[in-house]
């Protein structure tokens, strides 16, 4: 999704204020969501009929998880519960690690596609982000990587969540995505006389290196680049590469030197290959990945983050959201093709992490992505691993999130049934805890 062309640049100082206003007006602080339960210095014991070990794929029956100061201190079958511990008994439900979405746009909504975007200020979309952060968390996604937002609105949202001003998932955020003049990550909707360029646009090796440093200066914890054209942008071709190899190499080398990983929007084969050879950490979408691209990704250990459910929702709802005709025509071609190519990548064993492009479709529906992965050849366990241990590895947070083990953040969800038998159980999350605080009570 091209968030960089959506909104004109506004004052960054408005962002945290905007998010906080929603918390006040929406009455949605962490303590107020479904009777949130902070553990503080006390111990909380979470009991469930079973708990999934996402590493082994085995269920642990009669599971108990002990939580203190937001982290898991012990986990296992029928382990001893300290006297005075606060009890959360989930009864017959199944317990899993909090889910991770590696490709979101929290400050975007489906209606923001096309020309409506020009009417939206940065403070307004930041408030939208606060709404969507809550919906995402209550859907069971306790961590997200947000990849592309104009005006650093995602950075302000991340900081507001971290400060406890609004409820939401733990965020890794990119700020504005980097792209070429006139490319997928530029504003291509305005006539020439307006002279509007998106914040992340930079051309040439020196300029892209400076832009990488600039977005890091203003808070980016991951770098997003546009290596090819896109679907939801005017005048470009999703199959065509955009940045040159030299530009990609400069961005990725500088980002890695400064401790940031890099995600590349890339639909077309050549753009995928150039980004992989330049050292990118993940390919987003990968719609036209071919055998050579698959070989290179496996050789370099590059992650693939497909975003596939949007192919159903976007086409079905194009008229309702007033999607411009040129964008719809591209979507009708690219999105079905993507499933064919991603199915081959899955079969050939490319490393895959879960992503949705939520914002193209409504936030909170993120878990509908799982069923598409299973339909394309993944087992339910592999699909769950893509949104837990795999995603955590791609984030570089494998020692903090993605599994239910001592020392990890106490991020957990509960569902009624067995998602190893019916992956759509993850679309009906009944209970959510993030960092030891209940974000959604038993439904």
Question: Does 416 map to a domain?
Answer: no
C-alpha distances in angstroms, 356 versus 47, 162, 366?
31, 23, 6
Mean pLDDT of the chain: 90
Percent above pLDDT 90 for the chain: 81
> What region, left, alpha or beta, does residue 245 occupy, with left being phi > 0 and alpha being psi -120 to 50 degrees?
alpha
The pLDDT of 144-172, averaged and rounded, is 97
Residue 330 within a domain = yes
Question: What is the mean predicted confidence (pLDDT) over 92-101?
Answer: 98
Report pLDDT digits (tens) over 276-320: 999 999 999 999 999 999 999 999 999 999 999 999 999 999 999
> What whole-number distance in Å separates Cα of residue 353 and Cα of residue 284?
10
pLDDT tens digits, residue range 364-423? 999 999 999 999 999 999 999 999 999 999 999 999 999 999 999 999 999 999 999 999
Catalytic residue positions, numbered: 224, 357
The pLDDT value recorded for residue 340 is 97
Q: What does the pLDDT read at residue 186? A: 76
| Rounded (10°) CA dihedral 107, 111, 114, 117 | -50
Spatial distance between the Cα atoms of 121 and 6, rounded to a whole number of angstroms = 10
Does some domain include residue 277? yes
Q: Is 185:202 a contact under the CB 8 Å cutoff?
A: no
Structure tokens at 55: 């590493």
Task: Give the end-to-end CA distance of the chain in Å, rounded to a whole number.
Answer: 32
CA 81 – CA 40 distance, rounded (Å):
17
Listed residue (190, 163, 185, 189) closest to 174, CA to CA: 185
- CA separation for the pair 400, 307 (Å, rounded): 25
Question: Is residue 431 classed as helix, strand or coil in its secondary structure?
Answer: strand
Token pair of 76, please? Answer: 């296992």
pLDDT, tens digit, for every residue of 204-254? 999 999 999 999 999 999 999 999 999 988 888 999 999 999 999 999 999
Cβ contact 426:415 at 8 Å: yes
- How far apart, in whole angstroms, are the C-alpha atoms of residue 72 and residue 95? 14
Does an H or E element contain 214, and which? helix 205-217
Looking at 281-409, list the stretches that DSSP marks H as alpha helix, in order from N- to C-terminal side.
291-300, 310-316, 325-347, 368-375, 380-386, 389-395
Q: Is residue 133 one of the residues assigned to a domain?
A: yes
Q: Residues near 272 by Cβ (< 8 Å), separated by ≥ 6?
A: 227, 228, 264, 266, 283, 286, 288, 289, 293, 296, 297
Query: Comparing 24-33, 172-181, 194-203, 378-387, which segment has the lowest mean pLDDT?
Result: 24-33
Give domain status of residue 108, yes or no: yes
Contact 99, 419 (CB under 8 A): no
Burial of 49 per CB tally in 10 Å (0-12, 13-18, 19+): middle
CB-based contact 56:423 (threshold 8 Å): no
71-77 and 437-440 strand pairing: unpaired
Does residue 260 lie within any of the structural domains? yes
- Say which CATH number the domain at 362 has: 3.20.20.140
Partners of residue 225 on adjacent β-strands: 178, 264
Structural domain count of the chain: 1
Helices 153-162 and 15-26: angle between axes, nearest 10 degrees? 50
Looking at the chain, the whole-number percentage of residues with pLDDT higher than 70 is: 88
- Torsion, CA 52, CA 298, CA 341, CA 380, rounded to 10: -10
What is the model's pLDDT at position 31?
A: 30
Q: Is residue 111 part of a domain?
A: yes
The structure's pTM equals: 0.90
pLDDT digits (tens, 9 = 90+) for 124-152: 999 999 999 999 999 999 999 999 998 99
Residue 275 neighbours by CB distance under 10 Å: 33
Are the CB atoms for 268 and 239 separated by under 8 Å? yes
404, 58 Cβ separation under 8 angstroms: no
Read off the pLDDT of residues 2-15 as tens digits, 9 standing for 90 and up: 444 333 333 333 34
Q: What's the confidence (pLDDT) of residue 116?
A: 66
Domain that holds residue 289: 99-395
Q: Which residue has the higher pLDDT, 112 or 283?
A: 283
Report the C-alpha gap between 287 and 343 in whole angstroms: 10
Q: What angle (nearest 5°) sits at the alpha carbon of residue 128, between those of residues 255 and 338?
A: 60
- Tell me which of 12-16, 37-41, 97-101, 400-404 is least confident: 12-16
pLDDT above 50 for 19: no
Confidence label for 28 from pLDDT (cuts 50, 70 and 90)? very low
Nearest 5°: phi and psi at 36? -50, 145
């Amino acid at each position: 999704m091209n968030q960089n062309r959506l909104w004109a640049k506004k004052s960054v100082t408005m962002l945290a204020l905007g998010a906080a206003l929603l918390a006040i007006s929406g009455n949605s602080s962490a303590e107020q969501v479904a009777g949130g339960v902070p553990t503080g210095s006390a111990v909380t014991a979470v009991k469930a009929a079973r708990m999934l070990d996402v590493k082994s794929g085995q269920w642990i029956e009669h599971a108990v998880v002990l939580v203190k100061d937001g982290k898991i201190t012990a986990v296992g079958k029928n382990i001893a519960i300290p006297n005075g511990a606060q009890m959360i008994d989930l009864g017959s439900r199944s317990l899993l690690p909090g889910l991770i979405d590696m490709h979101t746009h929290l400050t975007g909504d489906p209606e923001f596609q096309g020309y409506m975007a020009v009417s939206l200020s940065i403070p307004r979309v930041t408030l939208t982000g606060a709404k969507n952060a809550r919906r995402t968390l209550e859907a069971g996604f306790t961590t997200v990587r947000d990849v592309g937002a104009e005006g650093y609105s995602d950075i302000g949202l991340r900081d507001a969540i971290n400060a406890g001003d609004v409820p939401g998932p733990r965020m890794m955020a990119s700020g504005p995505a980097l792209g070429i003049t006139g490319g997928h990550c530029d504003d291509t909707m305005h006539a020439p006389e307006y002279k509007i360029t998106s914040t992340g646009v930079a051309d040439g090796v020196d300029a892209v290196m400076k832009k990488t440093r600039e977005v890091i200066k203003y808070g980016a914890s991951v770098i997003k680049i546009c290596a090819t054209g896109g679907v939801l942008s005017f005048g470009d071709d999703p199959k065509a590469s955009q940045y040159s190899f030299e530009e990609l190499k400069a961005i990725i080398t500088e980002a890695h030197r400064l401790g940031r990983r890099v995600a590349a929007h890339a639909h077309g084969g050549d753009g995928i290959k150039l980004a992989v050879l330049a050292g990118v950490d993940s390919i987003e979408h990968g719609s036209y990945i071919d055998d050579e691209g698959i070989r290179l990704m496996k050789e370099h250990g590059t992650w693939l983050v497909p975003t596939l459910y949007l192919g159903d929702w976007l086409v079905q709802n194009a008229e309702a959201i007033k999607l411009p005709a040129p964008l719809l025509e591209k979507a009708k071609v690219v999105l079905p093709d993507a499933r064919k190519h991603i199915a081959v990548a899955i079969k050939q064993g490319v490393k895959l992490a879960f992503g949705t492009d939520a914002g193209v479709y409504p936030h909170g529906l993120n878990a509908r992505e799982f069923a598409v992965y299973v339909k394309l050849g993944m087992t339910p366990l592999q699909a769950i691993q893509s949104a837990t241990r795999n995603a955590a590895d791609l984030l570089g947070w494998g020692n903090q999130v993605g599994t239910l083990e001592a020392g990890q953040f106490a991020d957990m969800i509960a569902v009624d049934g067995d998602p190893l038998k019916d992956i759509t159980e993850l679309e009906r999350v009944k209970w959510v805890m993030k960092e030891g605080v209940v974000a959604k009570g038993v439904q």
